Amino acid sequence: MKNLNLFKNFYKNSKYIPYGRQNITRDDIKAVVKVLKSEFLTQGNVLEDFETGVSIKVNSKYAIAVNSATSALHIACLALGLKKGDYLWTSPITFVASANCGIYCGAKIDFVDIDQNSSLISIKDLEKKLKKAKLENKLPKIIIPVHLGGSSCDMKAIYKLSEEYGFSIIEDASHALGGKYENQPVGNCKYSDISIFSFHPVKIITTGEGGVAVTNNKKYAQKMQDLRSHCIIKDRNRFKENIPGQWRYEMQGLGFNYRMNEMQAALGLSQLKRLEKIVDRRNIIHKKYKEFLKNLPLKLIEVPESVYSSFHLAVIKLDDKQIHQKVFAGMRKNGIGVQLHYSPVHLQPFYKEFGFKKGDFPKAEEYASRSFSLPLYPELTDYNLKKIVQILKELIK
Ligand SMILES: *Cc1c(COP(=O)(O)O)cnc(C)c1O
């Protein structure tokens, strides 16, 4: 474990092994303290540096950093013009925010079932559903493919369908910073309008809380920048009214305070510097799981051929779903913080009120009945990894 020093943290290791956790170095702490000693705690220059850093890493023209990926999804939907009565589709196997952003805009939500092998949105099901929606005049305005666990969806196929059916695409790449699709970084928006990433502590890099929307479209970028800060315009060249006065600004729409502060941006910028190392390390750990678990009655979810995953998650699927509850509870009892990613969104009480019910998306429900995530984060030691595997083996026996 040569790389471990890089990931050593400053907290006492507890016995409990979570499924994910942040990685904070001395340099990260220095970067944040430097901001604390500076003039600006918010709306300074570090934010711009962080945004530029993200744009370079993912190869996008623009990056708009905000206080969460949930906020990023919301302003992305607004920038694409999502309105009351429009449809937004996403995968039922995602964090609730991928669907909620549509509700914030007054849109109606629907889901597309997943592919059995990759557990990502099924292209076949999507195509079928689009055909039907066209006949019923209910085509979606926006589709949000979710790169579950850090594996990119088949973006080329989704993009092709968008040309035929005329919807916009937001990639929910919350898990996939540092991942690749067809050897290009996820977030380059080659096959989408906007991509969003999350910087929650369990994600690939963190800002405490935070997120970013990236795009190559100038108009969307401007709109999202405005929306993140109350749609208050200070640039006189963009004023609608010609009234003199140095103190003037114009509020040209209804926006929000979704800003990321300078401490968060400094932490993000410092973390971004070791993105490749973090993703390498995650790949190494995932490979070890694959090796150690290969003779057990379970599968790690498959990563499509054209994808380099950032491995936010190590999801396993048990062959025998009868033992799912028992194994899950057993892991937790032994101090292993396994987690289900995710309970299908359409079966959450809030979404059931829209008429969704059990049986609507059988492959997603099947996935949830036999899956959970094993711990995966840069500082996970070989010792703990072997312990996790050992406990899992005993529980499955
Ligand atoms: C974490 C996550 C989000 C929301 O991220 P926040 O930064 O916590 O708002 C959205 N979508 C997916 C798939 C996520 O995993």
Pairing type for strands 298-300 and 314-318 reads antiparallel
| 19, 22, 68, 70, best to mutate for ligand 1 pocket (most atoms within 8 Å of CB) | 70
pLDDT attached to residue 1: 41
* Dist CA 208 CA 202 (whole Å): 9
* pLDDT at residue number 245: 86
Q: Is the per-residue pLDDT at 94 higher than 90? A: yes
311-321: per-residue pLDDT in tens?
Answer: 999 999 999 99
The token duo for 312 is: 């936010």
As given in the structure block, the two tokens for residue 272 are 């971004």
Q: Which domains does the chain have, with CATH numbers?
A: 21-274 (3.40.640.10), 276-396 (3.90.1150.10)
For residues 239-255, average pLDDT: 93
298 pLDDT more than 70: yes
Kindly report, residue by residue over 123-144, the tens digit of the pLDDT. 999 999 999 999 999 999 999 9
- Predicted TM-score of the model (pTM): 0.96
CB of 206 closer than 6 angstroms to any ligand 1 atom: no
- 172 alpha carbon to ligand 1 midpoint, in Å? 8
How far apart (Å, rounded) are the C-alpha atoms in residues 122 and 153?
9
C-alpha span between 341 and 300 (Å, rounded): 13
